[in-house]
Amino acid sequence: MASGPTIVRLARGGSSAVDLDTEAGRAFLQERLAFYNKLAFIISGVFFLVGMLLLASGVASPGEVSGAQTRRATLLHGATLVVQLSAWVVCARGRRLSHPLLRTIDVGALVLVCLGFALQDVTVVTLHVEALAPFPRVTMILILTNLLIARAVFVPSPTAWTAAVSAAAAVPVVASAGFAPPPSGAATGQGAVALWTVLWAACAVVVATLTSRVIYGLREQVREARRLGQYTLEEKLGEGGMGTVYRASHAMLRRPTAIKLLPPEKAGHAALERFEREVQLTARLSHPNTVAVFDYGRTPDGLFYYAMEYLDGVNLEVLVREDGPQPPARVAHVMRQVAAALAEAHGIGLVHRDVKPENILLCERGGVPDVAKVLDFGLVKDLERSGAALSRADVVQGTPLYISPEAITAPDRVDARGDLYALGAVGYYMLTGQHVFSGATLVEVCSHHLHTPPEPPSARLGRPVPPALEEILLACLEKDPARRPGSALILRDALCAAPGVGEWSEADARAWWARWRARRGPPERPA
C-alpha cells in the first residue's frame, strides 16, 4: 500500500500549501489576487485623497506645473485606481475564473497600473529638490518596488512567473526615464537618470523574484509535508471519534479524494487496531450507497490512513436543520437507499451501529441527484468475530438520539436490527424535523428509548402523513427487536411497496437542489 512522509504538521497546514494546478489552488490564487488589488487600491486611494486635499487647501503648490498638467496627472492616478478596483471586484465577486484569465489579470492589472504612474511622472516633474538630484525617479521606484514586493508576498506564483510579471511591470517605469527630464537645476544628466532608473528597477525586480522564490518554496515544503504517497492533502473537512478527514488529490489521476487518518494522540494500539479494522471492513462493501474505499496505508512514522471517495453534498442533519421536515416521498426515497446499503453490510455479518443523520449524505453521482451515501463505519461490529475485544460489553456505543434499546441494556448482543431502529429514528427526524426522543440528560434520553412509546409522526406534526410510511417508521422503532422488520431488505421492500407515499422523482430532486444552491451556495462538504 501507499506510504508517504510524516504528516505531524498537518494541523498547521493552510491554504498556502495548496497546489496551484488544482481547483483549490486556482481558488486560492483568485482569492489572493483579490486581496492584493484591494490592498493596492486602498493604499493608492489614500495617497490620491491626501494629494487632492493638499492641493485644494493650498498647502501643496504645483509650482511650475500647469493646471492642465495637474489635471492630466490626477486623471492618470484615477485611472490606476479604476484598474485596481476592477481587478479586485472581478476576482472577489465569487465567480469562478479560469487559470488563464487569472494570469491575465495578474500581469495586466500590474502593468497597467505601472504604466499609469509612469505616464503621470512624464506629465508632471514632481521632484524639484536639489538633494535628490542623483535619484530623480525615487517616487516611481518606491511605487514600483512596493507593488512588486507586495505582489510577491500576497500572490502565490512560481519564481519564473514572478520574474516575468515583475519585469513587464518595470518596463513602463524604465521607458519613462527617457521622456521625463531631470529636475531643473539638477546636476544629474539624462543618461545618468536613465541608468539610475534601470538599476533601481532591476533591484525591485530581483528582490520581488527572490521574495516570491522563498515564499513559494515554503509553500512547496508545506505541501510536501502534506503528501501521503500519491495523495496531497488540501483541506481539512472534519473530525470524528475515529480520525480526521481531509480533502486530497491523487498525483496522477487528479481525482478528488477524501483521506481519513488517525491523529497521533489517538494512535494507541487499541485505537489503531480498531481504525484498521474499520477500513478493512468498509473496503469489503461495494454497494453504490456506501462510501467507496480506494486505498490505505501507513506513513513511515506509523500513522494509519485510508483514501475514500470524496463526497460533495449535504448530510441529513444539515438538511433538516436548514430546510425543515422533508416530504414523505423523499423520506422513503432516502430510507430505501440506506436500507439497501445496510442490507449488503448485514449480509456479510457487519452491523454499522452508528446510523444517524450526520452519517448519511445526499449528493449527486453519475448525474443522478439525491444519491444517499452511508458514511463512517467506525463503530461497525463484525458478527463473525463477535468475541473480539474491540467491542466491550460494558460500553454503550452509538449516538444516544438514535440508539436502540438493546444497545443500552446489552451492547454486546446488538445485531442488524439495531441499525433498523436507528434508521427508523433517522426517517422520523427527516419527516417531522424533530427527534423521536429528547431529554435534558443522556440518562433521560436512554430512558425514553427503553420505556417510552414513540409519538406517531402525524401527531407530532399535527397533520396527516401517509399511514403506510408512519406504520413502517413505528415498526422500526419497536422496543422488541423481534417486532421490527426482519431485515434491511424487508424494510427496503416495504418502503418500495408502501401505498400513498408518492414518488420522489429525479425532477423533484433537481428542482430542490436548484433552490438549495440558490439559497445557500454550493452544498456543504461532509464532516
Three-state secondary structure call for residue 169 = helix
With cell 462510501, the residue in question is 291
Cα 99 to Cα 101: distance, rounded to the nearest angstrom: 5
CB 245 within 8 Å of CB 234: no
Three-state secondary structure call for residue 470 = helix
Catalytic sites, residue numbers? 354
**Residues sharing a CB contact under 8 Å with residue 334, sequence separation 6 or more, in sequence order:** 316, 360, 362, 370, 372, 427, 430
Distance of CA 355 to the CA centre of its chain: 25
Cα 163 to Cα 168: distance, rounded to the nearest angstrom: 9
If we measure between CA atoms, which residue out of 379, 362, 378, 358 comes closest to residue 370? Answer: 362
Please count the CA atoms within 13 angstroms of the CA of 373 that sit on its side-chain side: 26
Element holding 107 (H helix, E strand): helix 99-123
- Residue 267, burial from CB neighbour count under 10 angstroms (0-12, 13-18, 19+): middle
The secondary structure of residue 259, as a DSSP letter, is E
Q: At what angle do helices 23-57 and 138-154 cross, to 10 degrees?
A: 150
**The amino acid at 136:** P
Cα 111 to Cα 82: distance, rounded to the nearest angstrom: 13
Please count the CA atoms within 13 angstroms of the CA of 445 that sit on its side-chain side: 15
If we measure between CA atoms, which residue out of 264, 271, 351, 341 comes closest to residue 303? Answer: 264
Q: What is the b/e burial string over 328-342, where b = at least 16 CB atoms within 10 angstroms of the residue's CB?
A: bbbbbbbbbbbbbbb
